[in-house]
A and B are shown apart, each in its own frame.
Chain A
Amino acid sequence: MHSDPPPSLEKRYARIGVVLIAPTVLVFCAVILYPLISAIYLSLFSIYTPTLAGEWVGVDNYTALLASGDFWNAALNTLIWTVGTLMLQLVFGVAMALLLNQSIVFQSLARSLVLFPYFLSTVVAVLVWRWLFNDLYGILNHVLLIAGLIDAPVNWLGQMPNAMISIILVGAWKYFPFVVIVVLARLQSIPEQLYEAATIDGAGPFQRFTDITLPQLRDVLVVVVLLRAIWDFKEFDLIYLMTGGGPVRATQTLSLLVYEEAFRLNRMGMASTYAVAMMLVLLGFTLVYLRQTNRLEEG
């Protein structure tokens, strides 16, 4: 039995496992790991994008970054955009989920309509919104003028703080359905008997919301906030298409700054430096997210 044993069943399974997972690992290395390492590597050079030729500058890009007004401006814009749009997504998302959880009649229709913005291509959505926001022939100004709320057309996208408010609103409109789906799913899994018990125990409708619904939503909201924060933080297409970062740099977020450095100013090294800085921030978010989800799975 002990002389020259054939590989045990577990060992053979392990071998098959390695073979099966290998393609995924290879693809992962090619599309995630390699660009990641390249970005860190490139951030140590001063590179001209079209030729990718450049010289070693060490950490000069990083010292330049810390002294750069553009970087801090973009970081602040990213913060305002992320916090602003995320708050609105949460408020609208939770409110809509509560509403959809109430009525039963229009629920399926309402649910598909609510999901509409989320499924719509960003380019299409943004083009429509730019028409709506247009200062000369947009319907928004038209309606507001007729209603007498404004005296003259408002420049929604070309002026501050309107431009920031506009992208925050469109971002909220586009992404609140995600909050709706997740929160609604959780709402429907809260046992009805908890509400009945609370009713008998003497809690009114508002207290049932604060004492039962909110605590039950807490865990799922933590996950939603972290995920949306990560995604909003690196949002590019919506902002780029709406305002292009303008007026001037008023809505330029870090993603847009990276793009500008790399492909407008042709400074790939500096762009990589910004990207690495973004990555560090996102890494922080991700670690919190992973810790949180692990905690949820355990408890």
Chain B
Amino acid sequence: MAEVVFEKVRKTFGSTVAVNDLDLTIDEGEFVSLLGPSGCGKTTTLRMLAGLEEPSGGTIRIGDRVVNSVPPAKRDIAMVFQSYALYPHMTVGKNIAYPLKKRGIREPERSERVMATARLLELETLLDRKPAQLSGGQQQRVALGRAMVREPQVFLLDEPLSNLDARLRAHMRAELIELHRRIGRTMIYVTHDQLEAMTMSTRIAVMNAGVLQQFATPADIFHRPANVFVAGFIGSPAMSLVEGELVGSGGGDGERRFRVHCGALDVALPAGLLNRSAAPGPISLGIRPEDILLGSGHHTAAVGVVERTGHESIVRLEAQGTPLIVRAPGDTPIESGETVRFSLRVERLHIFDSTTGLRLNADTKDS
């Protein structure tokens, strides 16, 4: 049993609240990403779990054990640091062997386990090198090896890919997914890169300003963002968020019908799009770039910058003062300065309460 549970966990530094009443239950064997912008509390959360920071309140459990006052070495966790934190004066072999040595595991078992780990990570030929003689990707693997070698219940990874170049990062993402599949241990992964979180995680915990925003699968996070922050943070390019007004429009068949007025956009929402708590008033309308279709429809807008990446074009529109971002096919014949017609996939619109920021769509899941 190695589920990880945070209950009302707080961490304050002076008057700054880094983590605010965090409730989070991570199941055994999950790959969970803590995702958020710098200073959102994700690293502090991880460090509290590692035992490098003491929580100011609440309890942290690993398995059945409350670990608040358990020293880091006794928590049965391993951590991979952003800087890798390899011991520079030790060879690769000694780096990997170090946690075993400190736990009193003797030869020949120690060497056998180091070799097994090295084989798994394809480091056998590098065991006698010093960290400074390795490439970034190799150092990364040594750091992973040092974490894996003593088979901890939980792996903590603090932005482990952020020091690698883009190509290597994509490669290591795949390797990490494969590794997680193979060893099946709980992994908790801190990142500010949504691509990493979306591609690797079983579930993502999105954090902002010390508060957990949503904890759900990548698909849920993307398709059913719980609030305006998650909606704006996930997705690249970001969802267009437009302030507007939700108005009731009757509906003779007993169903509640709504329209949204957002500047130039006046859209009738399909029946059943919104949940019970939806009521006329100020809202934020969220439109994903792929949910705007160019070419026809009864909305018009001026075309601003067109960024072509080959397989797609990112088009910036301005519909009478309302900025929108559209993802269109790469060969869309469109030029800056033109006026285009467009339509919306209304069944995919996201409606958020302007005051609470909460999602009003009917498919919203409790998180």
Contact = CB atoms under 8 A, between A and B. Distances in A.
For A196, A201, A211, which residue has the most chain B Cβ atoms within 10 angstroms?
A: A201
Contact of B83 (A191, A202, A299): A191
For B78, B81, B82, B132, which residue has the most chain A Cβ atoms within 10 angstroms?
A: B81
A197 B79 contact: yes
A201 B102 contact: yes
B105 to A, nearest CB: 10
A58 interface: no
Contacts of A203: 73, 98, 102
Given A199-B73, A200-B72, A201-B102, A193 B146 contact: no
B85 A202 contact: no
A207 interface: yes
Given A191-B83, A193-B83, A200 B77 contact: yes
A215 interface: yes
Contact of A196 (B52, B78, B89): B52
Given A199-B72, A200-B78, A207 B102 contact: yes
B89 A200 contact: no
Contact of A201 (B51, B82, B89, B146): B146
A203 B292 CA distance: 57
B89 A194 contact: no
A197 B79 CA distance: 7
B73 A200 contact: yes
B81 A216 contact: no
A212 interface: yes
For chain A, the bracket of interface size reads 10 to 19
A215 B79 CA distance: 22
Contacts of B51: 199-200
A201 to B, nearest CB: 4
Given A193-B85, A212-B87, A200 B79 contact: yes
A199 B87 CA distance: 12
Interface in B242-281: none
A12 interface: no
Interface residues of B, number: 23
A199 B52 contact: yes
Interface in B302-353: none
Nearest to B89: A215
Contacts of B73: 199-203
A270 to B, nearest CB: 49
B332 to A, nearest CB: 48
Interface in B68-92: 71-73, 77-79, 81-83, 85, 87-90
A69 B88 CA distance: 50
B255 to A, nearest CB: 57
B298 interface: no
A264 interface: no
A211 B101 CA distance: 12
Nearest to B81: A193
Interface in A176-206: 191, 193-194, 196-203
Contacts of A207: 102
B103 interface: yes
Nearest to A195: B85
B99 interface: yes
B70 to A, nearest CB: 12
B152 to A, nearest CB: 9
Interface string A199-238: 1111100010001100110100000000000000000000
B50 interface: yes
Contacts of B71: 199
A205 to B, nearest CB: 11
A196 B81 contact: yes
B89 A218 contact: yes
B99 A201 contact: yes
A213 to B, nearest CB: 11
Given A194-B87, A212-B87, A202 B103 contact: yes
Interface of B: 50-52, 71-73, 77-79, 81-83, 85, 87-90, 98-99, 102-103, 132, 146
22 contacts: A194-B87, A194-B88, A196-B52, A196-B79, A196-B85, A197-B85, A197-B87, A197-B146, A198-B87, A198-B98, A199-B52, A199-B72, A201-B73, A201-B99, A201-B146, A202-B73, A202-B99, A203-B73, A203-B98, A212-B87, A215-B87, A299-B132
The 3 A-B pairs of least Cβ separation, nearest first, read A202-B102, A201-B99, A193-B85
